[in-house]
Amino acid sequence: MDFIKVRFKKDFDQDSSKFEKAFDDMFHSMSPVFTLSERSWKPPMDIYETEEEIFILAELAGADNDDINVEVSSKAVKISGKRKCFLPEQKARYRLAEIQHGPFERILFLPTRIDTDNVKASSSNGFLQIRMAKSPPETTHTIPIENG
């Protein structure tokens, strides 16, 4: 399975990302209305492992299972989707708007190879859990060299 080319954080221009964050923080603190526009966000996630499996736990409260996509390769997992915006009553005014909505995408590189045929995903209480069996370690074979 092919993935979108990913740049690692060290490849990004750190100064421009700091400026963008400061700019966003300034406008979000001035008025919560700025947070109502649809923009990309990153749901919090945990990765943990046992000797046999790797687990990913993603906090996706409010996102419907039909709006979540999970793609796996032997070394990475891509979780993407969309959380719809909750619209308050017509006459309501926001005083605080911190809940993020809109499209999201995370690509997580795994600490070891996984068996892509042995992956399960489930959702409960706003959490997506992905269980992945680790691939057995590759074995090497010594090949005798023959004369002649």
Residue 144 is assigned to a structural domain of this protein? no
Query: Rounded to the nearest 5°, which phi and psi values hold at 35?
Result: -80, -10
The pLDDT value recorded for residue 24 is: 59
Give pLDDT tens digits for 87-116.
778 888 888 888 888 999 999 999 999 999
Residue 130 is assigned to a structural domain of this protein? yes
The number of domains in the chain is 1
Could you tell me if 104 and 43 are in contact, meaning their C-beta atoms sit under 8 angstroms apart? yes
Could you tell me if 126 and 60 are in contact, meaning their C-beta atoms sit under 8 angstroms apart? yes
CA-to-CA distance for 145 and 148, rounded, in angstroms?
9
Residue 8 is assigned to a structural domain of this protein? no
Whether the pTM exceeds 0.85: the reply is no
In this structure, which amino acid lies at residue 108? L
In sequence order, what are the residues at sequence separation of 6 or more whose Cβ sits closer than 8 angstroms to the Cβ of residue 98? 32, 35
**125: containing domain:** 38-84+101-134
- Residue 43: which CATH number? 2.60.40.790
Residue 26 is assigned to a structural domain of this protein? no
Residue 92 is assigned to a structural domain of this protein? no
Residue 53 is assigned to a structural domain of this protein? yes
CA-to-CA distance for 68 and 22, rounded, in angstroms?
30
Residue 127 is assigned to a structural domain of this protein? yes
Could you tell me if 7 and 66 are in contact, meaning their C-beta atoms sit under 8 angstroms apart? no
The pLDDT value recorded for residue 27 is: 54
Return the residue matching tokens 């390769």.
73
Residue 59 is assigned to a structural domain of this protein? yes
Give pLDDT tens digits for 12-41.
445 555 656 665 565 555 544 444 445 688
